[in-house]
Structure 1
Amino acid sequence: MPELHPIMLSALQHYSYCPRQCALIHQEQIFEDNVFTIRGHLAHERVDSGESGMEYGVRVERALPLFSERLGLVGKADVVEFLADGTPYPVEYKQGKRQQKLHDEVQLAAQALCLEEMTGKPVPEGAIYHHKTRRRRVVAIDTALREHTIALVQQVRDLLASGVIPAPTSERALCQNCSLIDACQPDLVGKTATLARLHQHLFVVEDE
């Protein structure tokens, strides 16, 4: 079996949110901050510290490096709690409120798949901690979420291998909070008819 070129765990969340965003970040290496990403950085200050230790009788590892040779994934978990029997329990930190779609759940499920491969123990659930509400939301790592996540891994790999930047998402509400909106230019790029017309006349030289 050929060795898979590793893709970042975060790419799955980016792709689930918007394939164009994923390509701009992980293919073109474009990233910009806005108020939402800065709030996210602040919310991650402690989990990014890499601190570990016992808390309330549970071993806690922060910024834990993860990998999966089977799926070709690399990245890190915000927090992994190890239960008494050694079962890993991943906790993903998010600054904002719960998303309507499974963007965050996919990232958590990918972490669970990595932890299962690394430890040999099943990971039946994890949690997403919403910093805004300071509450945890338990997520079952069930068959449907696993299959959805594995399918996204292949879609991300195909996208990055293609070298193609996808068209902007049709869900323009997603664009308003995206830090890449200036680099993406979704309204301009989305006007395909206008761009095609301009392209036809780009190199036309008019007679003086």
Structure 2
Amino acid sequence: MTTPHPPKSGEGDLTQVSLSSLEHYAYCPRQAGLILLEQTWTDDAATIRGTLLHQRVDTPGNQARGTIRTLHALPVWNDQHGLTGVCDTVELHADSRVLPIEHKSGRYVPGGPGDLQAAAQAMCLEEMFSRPVPQAVVYSGTDRRRHTIPIDETLRSRVLQTAQQVRNLLDRGELPRPPADRRCKRCSLATDCMPKLLTGTGRYQDALTRLYCADDQDNA
């Protein structure tokens, strides 16, 4: 097995993008902006379930069972593409296969943000262990099963494109506009984001207009 080396740093290197930020940006650019630019985070039932699920795999260590060695909370990186993060679980198989496993508390969504995060983990492991990683796994706590993902060129391109979009977000330093769609109902940052108010939709904008009018009358 190749011994991993620390990530390099130096002038001219790409700004490092965390693997978790790829998932956040893929789900909602504004969510990523709130987390990365304003350090905003609020827990809800879903994030707490995720925290409880990850307690099993967030303690660094390794164990062997048969021909498989399992690593938990493994720091990973890819210097070439400027990626860095931590893998929940990595299986090292006797036939030299390296398999990252990303744990999610919710239901698996094919082609969703979880796939992107798992693919980025695979790309990091390829550089660290100097071997191809053609597959990754997303484990869903809801259905309690593994979902195998082929790390094809399309998915790799999505990883690199999303990483560059995160860098652009960091360089601009401006929060993206809120989407104000069905994603907001499942987002723990909806209260911090105020999507419907900021997009001027429905009764939220009407309430804001009435409030401004009342203030103007009081100051008249």
Q: TM-score, normalised by structure 1?
A: 0.90
Deviation at 1:74, TM superposition (A): 1.2
Partner of 2:157: 147
Computed over aligned residues only, the root mean square deviation of the Cα atoms, in angstroms, reads: 2.5
**2-structure distance, mates of 1:33, 1:73:** 26
Is 1:184 aligned with 2:193?
A: yes
- Match of residue 6 from structure 2: none
Q: 1:116 aligns with which of 95, 102, 126?
A: 126
Structure 2 residue 69 is the aligned partner of structure 1 residue 59:
yes
The 3-state SS of whatever aligns with 1:91 is strand
Q: Establish whether residue 164 from structure 1 lines up as the match of residue 171 from structure 2.
A: no
Q: Secondary structure at the match of 1:46?
A: coil
Q: 1:101 deviation in Å? A: 4.4
Determine the structure 1 residue equivalent to 2:103.
93
Distance 2:219 2:59 in 1: 65
Deviation at 1:55, TM superposition (A): 2.0
Q: Given the alignment, which residue of 7, 13, 27 partners 2:23?
A: 13
- Corresponding residue pairs, total: 205
| Partner SS state of residue 93, structure 1 | strand
User: Once the 2 structures are TM-superposed, how far is the Cα of residue 87 of structure 1 from its aligned partner?
Assistant: 2.7
Q: Distance in 2 between matches of 1:108 and 1:6?
A: 17
Gaps of 5+ in 2: 1-10
Write out per-residue CA displacement over residues 129-151 of structure 1, whole angstroms, 9 at most, x where no aligned residue.
11111100110001111111111
Choose from 44, 47, 50 the match for 2:54: 44
Shift of 1:100: 5.3
Q: Which whole-Å deviations, capped at 9, do the CAs of 1:33-70 have from their partners, x for residues lacking one?
A: 00000000011111101231102320100000011111
2:145 corresponds to 1:135? yes
Structure 1 CA distance for aligned equivalents of residues 157 and 28 of structure 2: 19
Counterpart in 1 of 2:8? none
| Paired letter, 1:119 | F
Aligned to 2:183: 174
Rounded Cα–Cα distance in structure 1 between residues aligned with 2:32 and 2:39: 10
Instruction: Look up the equivalent residue of 1:144 and give its one-letter code.
Output: T
Give the C-alpha shift of residue 207 in structure 1. 8.2
Unaligned stretches of 5+ residues in structure 1:
none
* CA distance in structure 1 between the partners assigned to 2:114 and 2:195 by the alignment: 23
What are the within-5 Å matches in structure 2 for residues 25-44 of structure 1?
Answer: 25-44=35-54
After TM superposition, give the deviation of residue 99 of structure 1 in Å. 2.1
Q: Secondary structure at the match of 1:108?
A: helix
State the distance in 2 between where 1:67 and 1:35 align.
30
Supply the distance in 2 between the matched residues of 1:101 and 1:138 (Cα, whole angstroms).
Answer: 11
Give me the whole-angstrom Cα distance separating, in 1, the residues matched to 2:74 and 2:165: 25
Secondary structure of residue in 1 paired with 2:196: helix
Change (3 A) 1:64 1:45: same
- The TM-score with structure 2 as length reference comes to 0.85
